[in-house]
């Protein structure tokens, strides 16, 4: 199958970007043209209901100019720096380029290339490499990665210079709104032939040596149907501590194909927490490369699906160096007719001695029509390592419900308490605890 005309080469030129970025986009487009849309026949797509996804139902977003309307999610306190990207256009940026401080660069603004002079010379290689690997196409890129690399509009670079540490988080809000006055352009929940817009949020976070930062990334939309293909690159330099929390609360008719790549240098730490509540179809690919000695990553995720939502999660913990450590905990609950599938792989390369990796996936199945699959995998080429994996899929233990009910708590409320309790350990260790109340209430209201 070739790429439909809406995503053809004419569309590619629609949004002007700098030459260097256009070159990457063109390269990606050339490969995309030869890459078919995945089908259910492919092993790694057979759980994803890809059959219900039709690229022709979407088109690259129009060029409607968005402006900052002052909106901010109520769960964000005022002292947090916010970068707003509305419909793939950066509309507000409250944080910037203070001397030696955090820099947020909209790479599509830099016509003649990025002004590398603002980057600490010690970090230059790291930053350049991060930008290049994030935006240029490479061998093995999936269809959706290539689509995102072809149609990306506003790649953001969030750069934390070596040695710079900040306690207050930075929030990036990717918000999608249906601004079209032509209502026929809105895709209905019934999924008829109307056309929805496609968006490709792109964020690269580079934390230089010894830097410390917390980044919150929010994906939010109205109820129109969108194709959303975000790509997030996280680079923790030597000894850096990079915490990243993503909250995905897209409307529940949207298709979400997300990618997150982590790369951790010597003694660096990535602490990542992904909360997936929205979208009809949400497939995420999360990887973490422990590239140098002593690198650590924590990959946590909370997902909750109701109605006919589908969550498909792929993870990859890649240990390349000695004394590296990764811990993965993905926990979810599925209700109504919702489904989830988790597939994870731990790779221990030859030479990754004394490394430790764990992978845990637990699922609560809250209704008879809901389902969850869990497929952990190990690929170990080094003897001197510790690896563990655990997975569980099951309903709420009736003994727990009876216990709560015997205290006078109604069955439905008891189920909510148990389900929220199931997630509590993840919330307790979240990088952005400010969001916990919102997450808790959102799940409680959907149960």
Partner 1 sequence: MSELQIIDLGVQTAGRQVLSGLNLSVKSGEVHVLMGPNGAGKTTFAKALLGHYSYTVTSGRILIDGEDLTDLATFARARAGLTLLLQEPPEIPGVTVEDILRTAVAGSLSYGKDNSYLPSKIASLADSLGIGSALLERGVNMGASGGEKKRLEALQLCSLSPKFGVLDELDSGLDVDALKKVSMAVKDLVDRKSQSGEDGEGMGVIIVTHYNRVLEYLPADKVHLLVDGTIVETGDASLVAKVEEYGYGPWLG
> Which residues are at the interface with partner 1 (CB under 8 A)?
397-400, 402-411, 413-414, 416-418, 420-425, 427, 436-437, 440-441, 444
| 3-state SS, residue 381 | coil
Cβ 358 to partner 1 shortest distance, Å: 18
d(CA 153, CA 92): 16
Q: CB-wise, 47 or 423, nearer to partner 1?
A: 423
Q: Where are the alpha helices (DSSP H) in 34-167?
A: 124-135, 143-151
Q: CB-wise, 43 or 368, nearer to partner 1?
A: 368
d(CA 432, CA 246): 10
Q: CB-wise, 75 or 142, nearer to partner 1?
A: 75
Per-residue burial over 314-353, b if 16 or more Cβ lie within 10 Å, else e, is: bbbbbbbbbbbbbbbbbbbbbbebbbbbbbbbbbbbeebb
CA distances 389 to 192, 329, 352, 376, Å, are: 42, 10, 18, 7
Q: CB-wise, 388 or 424, nearer to partner 1?
A: 424
Task: Write 12-21 long-range contacts (CB < 8 A, 24+).
Answer: 12/150, 12/151, 14/60, 14/63, 15/60, 15/63, 15/153, 17/108, 17/153, 18/107, 18/108, 18/110, 18/111, 18/112, 18/113, 19/111, 20/113, 21/107, 21/108, 21/135, 21/152, 21/155
Cβ 197 to partner 1 shortest distance, Å: 34
d(CA 229, CA 197): 11
Both structure tokens of 209:
């040596």
d(CA 94, CA 154): 17
Q: CB-wise, 369 or 425, nearer to partner 1?
A: 425
Cβ 327 to partner 1 shortest distance, Å: 18
Q: CB-wise, 292 or 415, nearer to partner 1?
A: 415
Cβ 273 to partner 1 shortest distance, Å: 16
Q: CB-wise, 121 or 408, nearer to partner 1?
A: 408
Cβ 442 to partner 1 shortest distance, Å: 11
Cβ 390 to partner 1 shortest distance, Å: 14
Q: CB-wise, 177 or 438, nearer to partner 1?
A: 438
Contact indicator for 273, 247 with CB cutoff of 8 Å: no
Cβ 307 to partner 1 shortest distance, Å: 21
């Amino acid at each position: 199958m070739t790429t439909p005309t809406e995503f053809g080469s004419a569309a590619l030129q629609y949004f002007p970007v700098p030459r260097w970025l256009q070159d990457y986009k063109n390269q990606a487009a050339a490969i995309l043209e030869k890459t078919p849309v995945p089908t259910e026949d492919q092993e790694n797509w057979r759980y994803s209901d890809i059959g219900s996804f039709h690229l022709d139902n979407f088109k690259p977003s129009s060029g409607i100019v968005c402006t900052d309307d002052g909106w901010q999610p109520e769960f964000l306190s005022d002292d947090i720096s916010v970068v707003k990207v509305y419909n793939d256009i950066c509309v507000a940026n409250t944080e910037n380029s203070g001397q030696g401080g955090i820099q947020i660069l909209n790479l599509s603004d830099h016509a003649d290339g990025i002004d590398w002079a603002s980057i600490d010379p010690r970090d230059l290689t790291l930053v350049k490499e991060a930008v290049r690997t994030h935006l240029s196409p490479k061998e093995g890129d999936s269809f959706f990665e290539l689509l995102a690399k072809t149609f990306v509009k506003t790649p953001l670079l969030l750069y934390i210079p070596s040695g710079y540490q900040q306690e207050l988080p930075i929030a990036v809000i990717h918000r999608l709104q249906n601004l079209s006055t032509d209502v026929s352009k809105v895709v209905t929940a019934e999924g008829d032939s109307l056309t929805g817009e496609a968006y490709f949020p792109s964020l690269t976070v580079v934390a230089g040596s010894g830097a410390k930062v917390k980044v919150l990334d929010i994906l939010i939309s109205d109820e129109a149907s969108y194709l959303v293909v975000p790509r997030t690159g996280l680079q923790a330099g030597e000894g850096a501590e990079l915490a990243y929390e993503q909250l995905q609360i897209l409307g529940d008719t949207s298709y979400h194909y997300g990618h997150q790549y982590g790369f951790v240098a010597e003694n660096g730490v990535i602490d990542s927490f992904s909360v997936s509540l929205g979208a009809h179809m949400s497939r995420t690919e999360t990887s973490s490369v422990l590239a140098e000695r002593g690198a650590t990553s924590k990959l946590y995720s909370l997902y909750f699906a109701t109605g006919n939502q589908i969550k498909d999660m792929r993870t990859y913990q890649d240990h390349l160096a000695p004394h590296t450590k990764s811990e993965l905990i993905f926990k979810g609950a599925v209700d109504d007719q919702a489904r989830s599938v988790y597939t994870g792989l731990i790779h221990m390369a030859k030479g990754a001695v004394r490394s430790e990796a764990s992978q845990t996936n637990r699922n609560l199945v809250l209704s008879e029509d809901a389902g969850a699959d869990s497929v952990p995998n190990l690929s170990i080429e080094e003897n001197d390592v510790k690896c563990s994996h655990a997975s569980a899929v099951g309903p709420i233990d009736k003994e727990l419900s009876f216990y709560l009910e015997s205290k006078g708590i109604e069955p439905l409320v008891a189920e909510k308490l148990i389900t929220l309790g199931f997630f509590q350990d993840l919330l307790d260790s979240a990088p952005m605890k400010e969001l916990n109340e919102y997450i808790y209430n959102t799940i409680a209201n959907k149960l």
